[in-house]
A and B are shown apart, each in its own frame.
Chain A
Amino acid sequence: MAEGGETAGPGHVPVTLRVNGRSRSLFIEPRRTLLDMLRADLQLTGAKQACDRGHCGACTVLLDGRAIYACLALAIATEGRDVTTVEGIEGPDRLHPIQAAFIEHDAFQCGFCTPGHIMSLVSLLNAAPDPSEEQVRRAVSGNLCRCGAYPNIVKAGLAAAATLRGLRSDAAREGEDG
């Protein structure tokens, strides 16, 4: 990692960041995008590569809790930061409430854009647990769905928000009881 006035690269250089809660150290070229690093170096293929220009949203991941396009971030610039992909929002054998809501509300056809939409909704619900329909629509306005599942995506987002609020209040009650 380049410190102070020093430069790193253009060959492979060490980078350390947290991915889905786990510290990962890699050797990469400075020109490696976060998306290529996730998919090719870490085999996390949930974030999809389509336009690779920030025009489609299929590569949406969280950087320090906020939705970004992984195709437009350099991996080296995420040194020390926290990245969450769709693989990291729930355990391997369980669905996150947003994922469950997508199934329940038929919020996809081909499914290619789905991880991106889900990560945009995770970002929204982190910041706004009780969003309006307009907020949900706006939260996924940076994700294209060529199958046109938008109305059901919005329904799924609102339903997932309600489920998550319920889980939180259950947890709070258990906390009081305990």
Chain B
Amino acid sequence: MRPFDYAAPATMTEATQLLRDVAAAPLGGGTDLLPLMKDGLVEPSRLVDLRRLPGLESIEPVAGGLRLGALVTLDRIESDDAIRTGFRLLAEAASAASSPQLRNMGTLGGNLCQRPRCWYFRGGYRCFRAGGDACYAVGGENEYLAILGGDPCYIVHPSDVGPALIALDAQIALQGPDGRRFVQAEDFFVGVKESLTRETVLEPGEIVTHVELPAQPSGARGTYLKAMDRGAWSFALAAVAAQLALDGGIVRDARIVLGGVAPTPWRCPAAEQALVGATLSGTTAALAAARAVEGAQPMSRNAYKVDLARGLVERALARLMPDRGSG
């Protein structure tokens, strides 16, 4: 790693000041930033450790929902009673991420801001994502890459938590040199048509400070399913975050979001429309699953992801059927 200076400010004002001046990067758990720095993919001249900022490690109830600080670790999200009770799919998503050590270190905010895992980008190729002018995965090693929303860059967003937050209609609080703002989780991620070199709406010097989970409608239940190339400690080949509101067997509200298949967490409005107003059954689940992957354009080596994602959606919906006891 190149040399850098380090600060651990105790107030947000100081943090904002420290982040605006130079090529500074915020430090949370460091589990993505340090590998990026070791590989020379990012070279900040300053790290601003967010650990001493007040309130960023707290989980507190607000108006039927929860407010989570950006430095809450994945391990805490996995085990927190309020999250497990009211927002189960978020606990499941955190639990599916990475390894015990990484969940002990890695933070909510960091999970949302992690950079893509595309082999070419991480390997130092001058690809679109690295500011170059080509995607080497087209016709190359693309088995882990996008089937939806790619062209010209086919990264997949690696976050497990991101799809869950969109399915829960969460808001993300940002703090930057120009003050504070809130964005819907769905609008936090930036597709390849908008930018080839960043994955979120964060402006230079801006950081995620909190995530707000709103109260869920009555009869709400959700689940997160993830397919990996081994049983643990891997990124999603495909994943689904499904949150439904059920009234008897009737679906009153549905949010279906795929992970691991597109440059952003991929919401599936056509699948949601197929569910809302319908009785949740094997037939409606199969229909919604087919709708979820509509428009998929697999690359030379990743067509398997279309079937995988469809199967995951169907299985997630089966888990949420009332007699299955999932909450």
Chain A residues at the B interface, C-beta cutoff of 8 Å: 1-11, 13, 29-31, 33, 52-54, 57, 60, 63, 66-69, 71-74, 76-77, 79, 120, 123-124, 138-139, 141-142
> Which residues of A have CB within 8 Å of B39?
53
Q: Is the CB of B34 within 8 A of A72?
A: yes
User: Assuming A7-B18, A142-B99, is B35 touching A72 (CB within 8 A)?
Assistant: yes
> Which residues of A have CB within 8 Å of B55?
none
**7 A–B contacts, CB within 8 A, in A order:** A30-B5, A53-B39, A54-B31, A68-B105, A69-B31, A141-B233, A142-B100
User: Assuming A54-B31, A72-B34, A74-B34, is B101 touching A60 (CB within 8 A)?
Assistant: yes
Q: Is the CB of A77 within 8 A of B51?
A: yes
A68 vs B29: C-alpha distance when bound (angstroms)? 10
Q: Is the CB of B104 within 8 A of A66?
A: yes
A139 vs B101: C-alpha distance when bound (angstroms)? 9
> Which residues of B have CB within 8 Å of A63?
104
Which listed residue, B10, B27, B232, touches A141 by the CB 8 Å rule? B232
A61 vs B320: C-alpha distance when bound (angstroms)? 39
Q: Is the CB of A142 within 8 A of B102?
A: yes
> Which residues of B have CB within 8 Å of A8?
5-7
Interface residues in B90-126 by Cβ distance below 8 A to A read 98-102, 104-105
Per-residue 0/1 for B227-238: is the Cβ within 8 Å of any A Cβ (1 yes, 0 no)? Answer: 000011100000
Which listed residue, A4, A54, A77, A79, touches B102 by the CB 8 Å rule? A54
CB distance from A160 to the nearest CB of B (A): 17
A60 vs B105: C-alpha distance when bound (angstroms)? 12
Which listed residue, B35, B46, B49, touches A54 by the CB 8 Å rule? B35
Whether a CB of chain A sits under 8 angstroms from the CB of B277 is no
Q: Is the CB of B31 within 8 A of A3?
A: no
> Which residues of B have CB within 8 Å of A76?
6
User: Assuming A5-B14, A33-B34, is B3 touching A139 (CB within 8 A)?
Assistant: no
CB distance from A9 to the nearest CB of B (A): 4
A57 vs B232: C-alpha distance when bound (angstroms)? 13
> Which residues of A have CB within 8 Å of B35?
53-54, 72
> Which residues of B have CB within 8 Å of A7?
5-7, 18, 46
Which listed residue, A3, A77, A79, A120, touches B30 by the CB 8 Å rule? A77
Q: Is the CB of B101 within 8 A of A2?
A: no
Whether a CB of chain A sits under 8 angstroms from the CB of B327 is no
A8 vs B47: C-alpha distance when bound (angstroms)? 10
Which listed residue, A1, A4, A10, A69, touches B101 by the CB 8 Å rule? A69
Whether a CB of chain A sits under 8 angstroms from the CB of B1 is yes
Q: Is the CB of B6 within 8 A of A9?
A: yes
> Which residues of B have CB within 8 Å of A138?
100, 232
Given contacts A73-B30, A77-B6, 19 further A-B pairs with CB under 8 A are: A2-B8, A5-B11, A5-B18, A7-B7, A10-B3, A10-B5, A31-B2, A52-B38, A53-B38, A54-B31, A57-B101, A68-B104, A72-B30, A73-B105, A79-B8, A141-B99, A141-B231, A141-B232, A142-B99
> Which residues of A have CB within 8 Å of B98?
142
A73 vs B101: C-alpha distance when bound (angstroms)? 11
> Which residues of B have CB within 8 Å of A1?
8
CB distance from B323 to the nearest CB of A (A): 25
Q: Is the CB of A120 within 8 A of B31?
A: no
Q: Is the CB of A9 within 8 A of B3?
A: yes
> Which residues of B have CB within 8 Å of A72?
29-31, 34-35, 102, 105
Per-residue 0/1 for B2-35: is the Cβ within 8 Å of any A Cβ (1 yes, 0 no)? Answer: 1111111111001001100000000101110011
Q: Which of A6, A7, A74 has the most CB of B within 10 A?
A: A7
Give A79's nearest chain B residue, CB to CB: B8
Q: Is the CB of B101 within 8 A of A68?
A: yes
Give B30's nearest chain A residue, CB to CB: A72
Q: Is the CB of B101 within 8 A of A30?
A: no
Q: Is the CB of A9 within 8 A of B5?
A: yes
